[in-house]
Amino acid sequence: MRNPLQDQLLKAGLVKKSKVDQVAREQARQRQGKAPTPAAAEQVDAKRLQAERAERDRALAAERNAQARANELRAQVRQIVESHKVAHAGEIDYRFTDADKIRSVPVNAALRAQLASGALLIVRHDEGYALLPRAVADKVYERDAAMVVLDHGRADAAGATDEDDEFYKQFQVPDDLVW
C-alpha cells in the first residue's frame, strides 16, 4: 500500500516508480527495527574512543604493576633488615648524616671499628636505623640503594681520587678524633 502522496507524485511524473519502491522498502526496514549501518564518521569516532580507553587502561595497569613491584621490593628490604640486623647498644654515639641532618646510633668500640672499616653499614629501618653486615647490605643495594645511609666501604671506592688523596696526605688527623 502506497500512501496517497506517493501516488500523486507518481501521476504527476515528479518521481519514478523505482524511487517510490526504494523509499517504501526503507520505511518497512525502519518499522521492523533494522537500523541502517552507522556512518563512517561515527565508526571512526567509536574506534578512536576505544583506542584511547585501551591506551589509558594499559597506562593504569603499568602504573599499578610498577607500584606493586616497588611495594614488593620494600617488603623484601624490610625482611632482609629484620632478619640480619646487628644489635647495637653501647656508650659511644656514632654520628652520621642523613638527609642533611646529623643522626647518631649508640655503639660499642668493636661496632665503631667495624663501621669505620666498612664491614658494617647503617640502613634506614622503620623510624630508626639498623646496622647490617657488608654481605647482607649488598642485597639491600640491589633492591633499594636509597635505604643505605652510611657505607664507608663504597664511599671510599667511589668518591676518592688519587689527586685528592695526595692533597690531603699533608693534613694529619689525630687518632683520637671523634665527632
Could you read off the pLDDT of 107-159 as tens digits, one per residue?
A: 998 999 888 888 899 998 888 899 999 888 888 888 888 888 888 777 544 44
Question: Are residues 115 and 150 in contact, defined by beta-carbon separation less than 8 angstroms?
Answer: yes
CA distance 75 to 13: 86
Is pLDDT above 80 for 40?
Answer: no
CA distance 90 to 113: 13
More confident residue, 33 or 166: 166
pLDDT of 52 reads 94
How much of the chain exceeds pLDDT 90, in percent?
Answer: 16
More confident residue, 104 or 41: 104
- The stretch 77-103 carries a mean pLDDT of 88
Question: Are residues 127 and 78 in contact, defined by beta-carbon separation less than 8 angstroms?
Answer: no
pLDDT of 158 reads 47
pLDDT of 44 reads 83
pLDDT of 116 reads 86
CA distance 4 to 6: 5
**Which H, E and C letters describe 52-83, residue by residue?**
HHHHHHHHHHHHHHHHHHHHHHHHHHHHHHHH
Coil, helix or strand for 4?
helix
**Which grid coordinates are listed for 29?**
526496514
CA distance 46 to 36: 17
Distances (CA, A) of 1 to 24, 33, 66, 67, 171: 9, 20, 68, 68, 114
pLDDT of 55 reads 94
More confident residue, 55 or 128: 55
Candidate from 1-10, 80-89, 156-165 with smallest mean pLDDT:
156-165
What's the whole-number average pLDDT of the chain? 84
Is pLDDT above 70 for 2?
Answer: no
